[in-house]
């Protein structure tokens, strides 16, 4: 039995404190800001060429997961004869009747030339905070947290994306998945009238101020998206807009959720709408001081509540 314990422990996050203890909002904001600073400033540009920096980022993410009481694994894959890593942790659900897992993912690489505070240190910050909070207060379902490498060009849209490699593994192993949520740029907000843009085909239906978070997915993921939104709005005062539509509309599939669709999984992204709002997208100006950590904490709080009730 002792020989089996390390195997059973792999990817397992153990609750650290009693479930009745809440997480103060200011702690969440502080943790989010610290992760963004570490990735975008201390480590910096994390493109597919920056192997040493990507490895430092993977090490940081792994150390954070472990600090929450998690055992962590990595999934190695190659691109142009170089090894990259997805970093994986899991919190076991307490209800054995709910066998389908939920996957929460975010990519940690950046486009070349950008420190990537919003894209996507903000998503990784949210991923780590959710893992920390769920480890303290587990949900009914098992939740798996994945930090993906290689989302950005030139790998985007190919089978070499870290999320494609991982989604294929889930499908090959016939892992039952309730749904996947991709955290893709969750930190930039604006209040000026007209600061929020949209694809022409959907712009008539949504606000012209970027003071909301958006859930964006394909048509087949509508039910999963609605369930998460219902739980989100119970806990967060931040407005949320949902869009489930054709993936051919520009931006709808611009993250790791796209690869889960390819294997028949429901999936959507949580996003501040990227280049439709944030003019620093894929630019050197994507820096941490431009992000709104209070609103980011509202995103995390809403998702935390939604995940616990799924």
| Average pLDDT value over all residues in the chain | 92
SS3 101: strand
Residue 270 within a domain: yes
- Spell out the residues 6+ positions from residue 142 whose beta carbon is closer than 8 angstroms to its own: 90, 91, 92, 93, 101, 102
Tell the residue number behind the tokens 């280049």, with chain if given: 275
Residue 53: pLDDT band (50, 70, 90) is very high
Is a pLDDT exceeding 80 seen at residue 31?
A: yes
Q: What is the pLDDT of residues 139-190, one digit of tens each?
A: 999 999 999 999 999 999 999 999 999 999 999 999 999 999 999 999 999 9
Residue 296 within a domain: yes
pLDDT score, position 27: 78
Rounded to 5°, the CA angle 37-41-47 comes to 110
Looking at 118-212, which runs of residues are DSSP E strands? 143-148, 177-183
SS3 117: helix
> Rounded mean pLDDT of 41-70?
97
Residue 9 within a domain: no
Backbone angles phi, psi at 298, to 5 degrees: -70, -35
Tell the residue number behind the tokens 């950046």, with chain if given: 110
Window from 60-64, 163-167, 196-200, 262-266 with minimum mean pLDDT: 196-200
Residue 11 within a domain: no
Q: What is the pLDDT of residues 215-266, one digit of tens each?
A: 999 999 999 999 999 999 999 999 999 999 998 898 999 999 999 999 999 9
- Spell out the residues 6+ positions from residue 14 whose beta carbon is closer than 8 angstroms to its own: 69, 70, 135
pLDDT score, position 71: 81
The 10 Å Cβ neighbour count of residue 277 is 23
Is a pLDDT exceeding 70 seen at residue 1?
A: no
Question: Does the predicted TM-score (pTM) go above 0.85?
Answer: yes
Residue 15 within a domain: no
Tell the residue number behind the tokens 């309730």, with chain if given: 178
Displacement of CA 178 from its chain's centroid (Å) = 16
Residue 172 within a domain: yes
Is a pLDDT exceeding 90 seen at residue 26?
A: no
> Rounded mean pLDDT of 97-103?
97
Residue 57 within a domain: yes
The answer to whether residues 143 and 93 touch, using CB atoms and an 8 Å cutoff, is yes
> Rounded mean pLDDT of 85-113?
97
Residue 80 within a domain: yes
Residue 202: pLDDT band (50, 70, 90) is confident
Separation between Cα atoms, residue 13 and residue 33, nearest integer Å: 23
pLDDT score, position 14: 47
Separation between Cα atoms, residue 152 and residue 121, nearest integer Å: 13
* CATH code, domain carrying 31: 3.40.630.10
Question: What residue numbers bound the domain in which 213 lies?
Answer: 23-308
Q: How many domains does the chain have?
A: 1
């Amino acid at each position: 039995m002792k020989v089996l314990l390390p195997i059973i422990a792999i990817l397992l996050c153990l609750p650290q404190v009693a479930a009745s203890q809440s997480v103060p909002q200011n702690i969440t904001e502080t943790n989010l800001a610290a992760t963004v600073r570490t990735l975008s400033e201390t480590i910096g540009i994390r493109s597919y060429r920056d192997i040493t920096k990507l490895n430092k980022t993977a090490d940081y993410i792994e150390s954070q997961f472990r600090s929450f009481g998690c055992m962590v694994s990595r999934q190695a894959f190659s691109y142009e004869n170089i090894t990259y890593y997805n970093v994986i942790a899991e919190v076991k659900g307490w209800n054995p009747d709910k066998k389908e897992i939920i996957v929460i993912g975010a990519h940690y690489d950046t486009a070349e030339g950008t420190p990537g505070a919003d894209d996507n240190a903000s998503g990784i910050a949210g991923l780590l905070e959710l893992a920390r909070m769920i480890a303290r207060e587990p949900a009914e379902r098992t939740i798996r947290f994945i930090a993906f490498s290689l989302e950005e060009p030139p790998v985007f849209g190919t089978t070499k994306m870290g999320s494609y490699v991982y989604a294929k593994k889930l499908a090959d192993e016939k892992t039952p998945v309730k749904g996947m949520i991709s955290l893709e740029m969750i930190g930039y907000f604006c209040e000026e009238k007209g600061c929020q843009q949209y694809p022409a085909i959907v712009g008539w239906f949504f606000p012209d101020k970027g003071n909301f978070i958006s859930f964006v997915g394909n048509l087949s993921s509508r039910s999963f998206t609605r369930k998460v939104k219902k739980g989100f709005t119970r806990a967060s005062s931040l407005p949320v807009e949902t869009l489930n539509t054709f993936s051919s509309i520009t931006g709808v599939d611009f993250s790791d959720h796209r690869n889960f669709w390819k294997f028949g999984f429901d999936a959507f992204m949580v996003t501040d709408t990227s280049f439709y709002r944030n003019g620093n997208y894929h630019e050197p100006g994507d820096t941490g001081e431009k992000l709104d950590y209070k609103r980011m904490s509202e995103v995390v709080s809403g998702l935390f509540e939604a995940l616990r009730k799924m």
